[in-house]
Amino acid sequence: MVSCHQVCFIGSEYIPQSGIPPRWFLLYKDPCECTAIRLGGMRNPASSYSQRAPYYLNELFLSEDSDEIKTYFTCSRLTTVRTATAECPSPAPLGVGDRAIIPDDRIRASSSDCCPAVWARLNDVSSGWSPAIFDNNAWIEVDLVESTVVSGVTTQGHYDWYVTEYKVVYKKLPSSDYEPVTEGNGNVKVFIGNINGNTPVTNFFEESLVATVVRIETIAWVGEVTLKFELLGCRRG
């Protein structure tokens, strides 16, 4: 589950040559994660916004009421409100955006094209990190060195390029294997990312985790993979 407000935008798709009438779609595969659905005004093919199938609707549906959304889409009544944990009652930035806290050599990526991993600092004036164009399993990670309580992630894109879905994996110790952040049922959690290249989006984990390394694995994106980010949590001790 995500534990922050998730505003979802609905767009209209019309491809004249296809012979298919105009139809509405959400960029999110699971509308049950939306706490508000607003009109996005898009008329491009839905496939151009994500590498995963969009969610098509038979009619225009807009709402600012999460309960109404759950009723409309027949969602289960799982809570999406984050509660403070004993490990980290007040999550704060862990320093990805500050070179004095996390130096460049502690940010690594699967690959890079024009834009290296060190450009991935949230709100940095750079364009963000972008992997090599043929890297279809792109990831970026931060070495926190010490065991750190991590409670969530804030992501951002750049201009018209941004990541719309991602997973988070982590190491408890430098010698440990990577473990995924999961949902309450044990399934690997797919986080809903950005809806444009400028607005930061924060996702909190259902439960805080203790990690020395945190990796973001990209799943779907608009344009090309472009990412800036910050980790939220608490330093131990």
Residue 138 included in any domain: yes
Residue 102 and residue 210 in one domain = yes
Tens of pLDDT along 49-61?
Answer: 444 456 777 788 8
Cα 234 to Cα 237: distance, rounded to the nearest angstrom: 9
From residue 65, alpha-carbon distances to 94, 165, 234 in Å are: 33, 23, 32
Cα 201 to Cα 198: distance, rounded to the nearest angstrom: 9
Residue 166 and residue 221 in one domain = yes
Residue 118 and residue 213 in one domain = yes
Predicted pLDDT of residue 224: 94
CATH number at residue 186: 2.60.120.260
Residue 109 and residue 220 in one domain = yes
Predicted pLDDT of residue 14: 63
Q: Which of 49-63, 74-88, 91-105, 183-197 has the lowest mean pLDDT?
A: 74-88
Tens of pLDDT along 6-42?
Answer: 778 887 776 666 566 777 878 666 788 788 888 875 5
Residue 119 and residue 170 in one domain = yes
Number of CB atoms found within 10 A of residue 121's CB: 23
| Domain that residue 227 falls in | 92-235
Residue 189 included in any domain: yes
Residue 107 and residue 181 in one domain = yes
